[in-house]
Chains A and B, each alone.
Chain A
Amino acid sequence: MFLKVALLVLRKDFAIEVRSREILFTTLFFALSCVLVFSFAFVKEGEPLEDAASGILWIAIAFAGTLALGRTFERERYGETLRALLLAPAPRPAIYVGKLIGIVLLLVVAEALLVPLVALLFQATLFARPLLLSGLLLAGTIGFCAVGTLFAAMLVRARTRDVMLPILLYPITVPVIIAGVRGTSALLQATPDEAAATMWIALLVCFDVVFVTLALWTFEPLMTE
Chain B
Amino acid sequence: MRKIFTPLTVLVALMFVYAPVMIANAPYESTMGLVQKIFYFHVPAWWAMFTGVLICGIGSAMHLFRRAPAADRLAAAAGELTVLFGAIGLVTGPLWGRKAWGVWWQWDARLTMALLLELIFVGYLLVRKYGGPGSDKLGAAMAVFGMANVPFVYVSVNIWRTVHPKTSVVPTLGPGMFGAFWYSVLSFMLLFTLLLTIRFHLEQQRAELDRLYLAEEE
Contact = CB atoms under 8 A, between A and B. Distances in A.
Interface of A: 147, 150-151, 154-155, 157-160, 164, 167-168, 171-172, 174-175, 178, 199, 203, 206-207, 210-211, 214, 218, 221-222, 225
A224 B142 CA distance: 16
B131 A164 contact: yes
B127 A164 contact: yes
B138 A167 contact: no
Q: Interface extent on B, as a size class?
A: 20 to 34
Contact of A155 (B65, B112, B138): B138
B149 A218 contact: no
B43 interface: no
A214 B132 contact: no
B135 A158 contact: yes
B145 A214 contact: yes
A13 to B, nearest CB: 23
Interface of B: 64-65, 112, 116, 119-120, 123, 126-127, 130-135, 137-138, 141-142, 144-146, 148-149, 151-152, 155-156, 159
B52 to A, nearest CB: 16
A158 B159 contact: no
B132 A218 contact: no
Given A150-B141, A154-B137, A168-B142, A222 B64 contact: yes
Main secondary structure, interface of A, reads helix
B123 A174 contact: no
Contact of A167 (B126, B141, B156): B126
Contact of A211 (B112, B126, B132, B148): B148
19 contacts: A147-B145, A154-B138, A158-B132, A164-B138, A168-B127, A171-B120, A172-B120, A172-B146, A174-B116, A206-B155, A207-B152, A210-B151, A211-B145, A214-B144, A214-B145, A214-B148, A218-B64, A222-B138, A225-B134
A168 B123 contact: yes
B137 A222 contact: yes
A116 B135 CA distance: 41
A171 B116 contact: yes
B147 to A, nearest CB: 10
A168 B130 CA distance: 12
B152 A167 contact: no
A172 B159 contact: no
